[in-house]
C-alpha cells in the first residue's frame, strides 16, 4: 500500500454529536420539530448540504439548503467554542505513526465531508498540520459520501492508485465510498455506534488495535 487516508469527524475528532445537535437545532428554527438526532444516523459521513437537501424533500422548509448549511456552520462554531473538542483516543498517535511512514514513500491525507475551514481548524488545534500531504473537503465536490468522488479525488491529489490506498472510516456511508473507490477500508466502531461497517476489510473497536504492518512494510 502507498497511502493512508483518514476520515475526520468520528475518526480524528469526537465531533459527530456536535454536528447532529447543530443540524437539529437549525431544523427546529426552520419549523421542523419531528426530526431528532437518532433520525440522522443514516446521514453520518455525508455533507451537511446533502442532509438538508434530502430532508427538504419530506419537510419543505422555506430557507434553501445552502442557507440552512450556513446557519448550521455558525451554530456549530459556537458549540465548538462552548464545549471544545477532543481527539478520538489513539488517533493522534496513529497519525504520527503514518506520518513517519512518509520517509519510505507512503502518502497521507484527510478526506472529510466537513468544510475546509473546520479541517484546517482541527489539524492546527492538534498540531498535526505537517502530518499530511493533502486535506480534502467533500464540500468542494458535486457528490457526497457514499459516492466515491472524495476518495478518488484524494488519490489523484496524492498521485496514488486508489487500489494502493488504505482508508480509516467510522461511518457506513464513508466505508461505502472508500470501497466503491477500490480502496482497502478499516472501520472504526466507536462506543455505542450502530453504523453498518460490514463492508470494511477490517473492523476495530479501538484505534490502538490498528496494525499498520498489515498494510505497510515495517
- Active site residue ranges: 7, 9
Contact 165, 1 (CB under 8 A): yes
d(C-alpha 148, C-alpha 175), whole Å: 9
What the block records as the C-alpha cell of 218 is 515495517
What the block records as the C-alpha cell of 128 is 498535526
d(C-alpha 120, C-alpha 210), whole Å: 25
3-class SS letters over 140-201: HCCCCCCCCHHHHHHHHHHCCCHHHEEEEECCHHHHHHHHHCCCEEEEECCCCCCCCCCCCC
Alpha-carbon distances, residue 155 vs 29, 105, 149, 188 (angstroms): 39, 14, 10, 21
Amino acid at each position: 500500500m502507498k497511502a493512508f487516508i483518514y476520515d475526520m469527524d468520528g475518526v480524528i475528532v469526537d465531533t459527530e454529536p456536535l454536528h447532529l445537535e447543530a443540524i437539529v437545532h437549525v431544523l427546529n428554527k426552520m419549523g421542523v420539530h419531528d426530526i431528532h438526532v437518532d433520525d440522522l444516523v443514516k446521514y453520518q459521513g455525508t455533507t451537511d448540504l446533502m442532509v438538508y437537501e434530502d430532508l427538504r424533500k419530506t419537510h419543505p422548509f422555506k430557507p434553501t439548503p445552502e442557507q440552512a448549511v450556513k446557519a448550521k456552520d455558525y451554530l456549530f462554531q459556537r458549540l465548538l467554542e462552548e464545549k471544545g473538542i477532543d481527539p478520538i483516543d489513539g488517533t493522534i498517535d496513529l497519525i504520527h505513526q503514518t506520518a513517519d511512514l512518509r520517509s519510505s514513500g507512503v502518502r497521507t491525507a484527510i478526506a472529510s465531508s466537513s468544510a475546509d475551514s473546520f479541517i484546517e481548524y482541527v489539524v492546527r488545534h492538534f498540531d498535526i498540520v505537517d502530518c499530511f500531504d493533502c486535506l480534502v473537503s467533500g464540500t468542494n465536490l458535486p457528490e457526497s459520501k457514499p459516492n466515491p468522488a472524495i476518495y478518488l479525488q484524494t488519490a489523484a491529489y496524492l498521485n496514488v492508485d486508489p487500489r494502493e490506498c488504505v482508508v480509516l472510516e467510522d461511518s457506513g456511508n464513508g466505508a461505502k465510498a472508500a470501497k466503491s473507490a477500490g480502496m482497502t477500508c478499516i472501520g472504526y466502531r466507536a462506543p455505542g455506534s450502530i453504523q453498518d461497517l460490514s463492508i470494511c476489510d477490517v473492523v476495530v473497536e479501538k484505534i490502538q488495535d490498528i496494525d499498520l504492518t498489515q498494510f505497510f512494510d515495517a
